[in-house]
Structure 1
Amino acid sequence: MKAWMFNRSELTLALQEVAQPELRAGAALVRMEAVPLLSYTGNYLKGDLPYAYPPSPFTPGTNGIGRIVAVGAGVQQFKPGQRVALNPYWIANEAVAEPPQVLIGLTAVSHDSAQMLEEFRHGSLREVADVPASTPLPLDGLDHLSAERLALLAKFVVPFGGLRRGRLAAGETVAINGASGYFGSAAVLAALALGAAKVIALGRRAQALQQLVALGKGRVVPLVLTGDIGADAAAIREAAGGAIELAFDMVGQASDANSTLALLHSLRRGGRLVLMGSMQAPLPIPYGEMLLNNWELIGHFMYTPADYLALLSLLRAGLLSLDEVDLKTFAFSDLPAAIDHAAQMQGLQATVALMAQ
């Protein structure tokens, strides 16, 4: 079969003929149909990111859509021919306080997960992927959707997990920081699907926010941030018609914490702030105000299998649509061009590599 292979020491990526993986106990072989690309795939392949890479050479690629080819001993539910979504977030299934975890095809997450990366080093940019059976998600009942559209689930499930962790309830108002970004824009649509009464979409690009307003049908209010903590917090409250119940921070690569602190100060008493962005600057927390307001600060990474299943339920019920995303597809063999395109993505855009069927 064909697979894209990355050599970390040489920083080379090449499409190669490799042996099809052997079937293992507790694993599944999946014939890939579509693979979404992260915007920072190019930087990752240049070695610019502080990630713990899998042992080289390996196939990169995280999420994807495919069909089960075969399942190993001990796999109870999945069957050959079944359509599934690949989920790279693999947590060891052991009854310990802090099981090791990795993002397959991308990086180790915990300090003790090197063995997991060795065991399943290859990601989804190959014709047949070998994955732990605990990671695919069944796509039964979604055959009317194309593989490239279903690949967009990867864009939604990350912020969806954070919104669920923040306990967003129907009828609540949520402010989303980074709403004009790749994951932040999806967070706005996910919040609407979960029943948010109003979504305050925060960003620095007014045009990108206006697209979300149109999709919100009166429930999305755009707000361009100024960088002034007090002024932005007051503007959020005004846009919401009062203090908000939930603040969701998905801002990427922020150089300061001002927008995050504006979110915090827009919360009502007892409000929650979920952190899922990639800001590297320190976050100075007002200790006394946290206590007096009973604010809840939640750091959250990725999502749980239950989150993904809930997302699929919304999709089946018609409460969430993947059609609003501007999708650009590339042939599997044209991956370098796809990577370049992915680096330019903004807002409700996505890039997907398609396998020849």
Structure 2
Amino acid sequence: MKAWIFNRNELTLALQDAAQPELRAGAALVRMEAVPLLSYTRNYLQGKLPYAYPPSPFTPGTNGIGRIVAVGAGVQSLRPGQRVALNPYWIADEAVAEAPQVLIGLTGISADSAPMLAEYPHGSWREIADFPASTLLPLDGLDHVTPERLALLAKFIVPFGGLRRGRLSAGETVAINGAGGYFGSAAVLAALAMGAARVIALGRNAQALQQLVDLGKGRVLAVTLTGDVAGDAAAIRAAAGGSVALGLDMVGQATDAGSTLALLHSLGRGGRLVLMGSMQVDLPLPYGAMLLNNWELIGNFMYTAADYRALLALLRAGLLPLDAVELTTFAFSALETAIDHAAQMKGLQATVALF
């Protein structure tokens, strides 16, 4: 088979012939159909990110869509021929308080995750992938959706996990910070699919926010942030018609906490704020206001398997608008070009490589 191989020491990526993975107990072999590209993939391949890389050389690639070729001993529910979504977030299935965890094909997460990276170093950029069965999500009933559209699930599942962790209920008002970004824009559509009465899209690019307003058909309002915390918080409250029940912070690589603090101060009494962005500075919390307002601050990393199943239920019900995303596809052999294209993505855009 063909596989893209990355050498971490030399920072080289090449499409090479590789042996098909051996079938292991508790795992499945998946013939890949489509893989989405992250915007920061080129920086990752240039060694610019503070990640715990798998042992080199290895095949990168996190999410993907494919069909099962074979299942190993002990796999109970998956079957050959079944279409699945590959989920890179692998947590060791052990009855301990803090099990090791990794993102397959990308990085270790916990300090004790090196053995997991060594066990499954290869990601989804290969014609046949080898993943633990526990990381595969069956896509039964979705054969009418193309593989490239199904690959967009990776864009939605991350913010969807945050909305679920924040206990978003139908009829509530939610505000999304970083709504003009890759994951933030998907968060707006996911919140609508979950039944939010009103979604406040926060960002600095008015044009990007307007696209979300148009898609929201009256349920999405935009607030263009100015950097003035008090003024921005007042604008968010005004758009919300009073206050916000749930805030989701998806802002990326922020060098000041102003927008996150504005979101916090827009919460009503008992409001929740979920942190899922990548802010580079500390968040100074207003201790007294936190107490007086019963605000809840929630840090959330990724999502659970239950979150993914819930997202698939929305898709099967016709509530998740994958078609709203502007999709650009490339051949698997043109992955290098796809990576460069992905680096330029904005808002409701996605880049997918097809096998």
Separation (CA, whole Å) in 2 of partners of 1:326 and 1:282: 34
| Matching of residue 239 in structure 1 with residue 239 in structure 2 | yes
**1:25-174 aligned within 5 A:** 25-174=25-174
Q: Equivalents in 1 of 2:288, 2:278: separation in Å?
A: 26
Matched position secondary structure for 1:323: helix
Residue type matched to 1:68 in 2? I
1:126-173 per-residue CA deviation (whole Å, 9 max, x = no partner) reads 000000000000000000000000000000000000000000000000
Matched, 1:292 2:308: no
Identical counterparts, % of pairs: 81
Aligned equivalents of 2:267, 2:74: Cα separation in 1: 48
CA distance in 2 between partners of 1:33 and 1:124 (Å): 10
Cα offset, 1:319, TM superposition? 1.0
Partners of 2:219 and 2:60 lie apart in 1 by 38
Corresponding residue of 1:213:
213
Other structure's SS at 1:95 match: coil
Alignment-mate amino acid for residue 227 of structure 1 = G
- DSSP 3-state at the match of 1:350: strand
Paired AA for residue 233 in structure 1: A
Distance in 2 (CA, whole Å) between partners of 1:316 and 1:287 is: 43
TM-score by length of 1: 0.99
User: Residues 226-259 of structure 1, C-alpha deviation per residue, up to 9 Å, x if partnerless?
Assistant: 0010000000000111011001100001110000
Please list every run of at least 4 consecutive aligned residues from structure 1 whose deviation after the TM superposition is greater than 4 angstroms.
none
Q: State the 1:321 CA deviation.
A: 1.6
Distance in 2 between residues matched to 1:286 and 1:222, nearest whole Å: 26
The amino acid that maps onto 2:327 is L
In 2, distance between residues paired with 1:261 and 1:141?
Answer: 42
Secondary structure of the structure 2 residue equivalent to 1:168: coil
Unaligned runs of 5+ in 2: none
> For residue 224 of structure 1, what is the aligned residue in structure 2?
224
After superposition, give the CA deviation of every residue in 1:246-296 in whole Å (9 maximum; x if it has no partner).
011000011100000000000001100000001111100111111111000
Aligned to 2:322: 322
* SS in structure 2 at match of 1:115: helix
Asked if residue 196 in structure 1 is aligned to residue 196 in structure 2, the reply is: yes
User: What are the equivalent positions in structure 2 for 1:247-258 lying under 5 Å apart?
Assistant: 247-258=247-258
Other-structure match for 1:2 = 2
Determine the C-alpha separation between the residues in 1 that align with 2:255 and 2:284.
14
Structure 1 residue runs without a partner (length 5+): none
Letter in 2 for 1:271: G
TM-score scaled by length of structure 2:
1.00
Q: Distance in 2 between matches of 1:206 and 1:162?
A: 24
Q: Which amino acid aligns with 1:157?
A: I
Match of residue 283 from structure 2: 283
SS of 1:121 mapped into structure 2: coil
Separation (CA, whole Å) in 1 of partners of 2:148 and 2:33: 8
Task: Provide the aligned length of Structure 1 versus Structure 2.
Answer: 355
CA distance in 2, matches of 1:142, 1:68: 15
| C-alpha distance in 1 between matches for 2:288 and 2:112 | 36
Q: Which residue of structure 1 aligns with residue 343 of structure 2?
A: 343
* Residues in 2 aligned to 1:22 and 1:240: alpha-carbon distance in whole angstroms: 54
1 CA distance for matches of 2:279 and 2:266?
A: 19
Residue in structure 1 matched with residue 306 of structure 2 by the alignment: 306
**Hey, what's the Cα distance between the residues in 2 that align with 1:331 and 1:114?**
32
Classify the secondary structure of the residue corresponding to 2:307. helix
